[in-house]
Structure 1
């Protein structure tokens, strides 16, 4: 129950309109957007603790901005002045830089640089740079994303995450996938070792000696990896890898396999084999959702620590190094711990989709 000392927070129509604008507008500083969201949530009712739990913030944060708003209304949500030299850049100039960065592009480029935006706004390049840092703006960077169109996306997320967070008894849960097209690359000149002040140096060009594929099954409970290195990745190789898993997992345990929707995982031959081995249960991740398979984290590890800078003069040498690396991994495996619930994932995705819709693209 709310404390009897808690001052009720009632908004006027104008205050609500302004706060909702602050919380939605893309050009609003993240701090101000958060404070507006706190006040709007408090106006709906509930104690500071309840609001903090809803917004996933600390109780002290909610109490601070609730009190500031009750005392000073909208003015109370602004940052308090700090000691130091008076500001040389006005709020209007800051807003112009932020809005221009977020909502426009230069005529001769896909994104602004500090130099081009300084010329556009009549400010110094260092001033633009400081504003970008303050608002976390990095126009030179771009991240990629892909939203799954799988009609059973929600069901598959709940199924896979359920296995991570609450694995079944008397069973092992394995994350399975193939890392295909691993190239045996040899540099055209010897690698120069690292020296004080000088990084290791490799020639820009290289010689290809062929490719191989790594089949891996990561056990989520222990981090142990069952693996096989094969020159091809047809359904025949996948079937052979299933047999390898079958030999390595104690016969009294069920086997739950998390894997993607690759066609070689669903051929009639694979389905026939599964019917003859009822202890195997396949759990498919949604399409375009490789991030849901923890074995991808293992592939990232072996790529970073072995493959990316490795030099191999033959596919045989590459395969030997891969087997040796995994053998060493299995002497001291470290399981990857999944922490997010299915509800948290779906809520984040819904919020991201809403941002895409609000972007106007």
Structure 2
């Protein structure tokens, strides 16, 4: 994601800039937070507020009303940004009490479960991507998108990470990808297996043959002008293919999105651990590192309970129950 260049003009401008600078010094991008604070800054200007004492609970509630959000998640994010900024003002001794302290988030009453692709669903997606026709700005679309979807589903990468890959990031000798400056401004190494290695080698050969060269900083997935494929374009192509998959979406489950492939990788990993009789809790930190999370609790969000996972968990519990007496359970 590109760095924003938003202009802050209210009397809060300096404090907002210092707040963002502090958060970014901790390795956070804070782009969506910057957009939210830009909205607040504009509202302060619109209301001609020039004194910190006027930024009270009523003013903040009026601001939130002026920015209607149909989804609880979007509204809660805006409230969260306001809370954090006001807490910052308290710590900086600009105000004594946070005016946002009594503002509550909107409770989500119907949180939907993300759609999880199984191997059959994904094979169909891969088949469809391999039939994509060329476009003026993107040649070899079938090769590009099939490789992109393989990396998203097979390695659990973020679409932004895939779109930024360059030649220098792919090591086909050690079978490792270098993921640079990810969501939390960290670099990480992602190993891949022999099947993905073969696909990558075949793709790189096609890319070299078409462009006649492949420099270290050249994008792995380019458009005809050798600029990197954007995450938005990749997402649009995915959504154009979804109706052709003819998927059955269970009640309470969200429509498939590109991020569903990352969810599917995490759930598939957990399922394989169950089948190999590996304790998932002992390995969660490894999955968290692989996915680029700073905390295993963030990884837990991805571990949606599927029918296959529930079956494996039940089998493990039945085995435990069969081999454990009531006395042993109570003694534990």
- Would the TM-score normalized by the shorter structure come out above 0.5? no
More helix by share: 2
Larger Rg: 1
More strand by share: 1
Smaller-chain TM-score bracket? under 0.3
TM-score for both structures, normalised by structure 2: 0.25
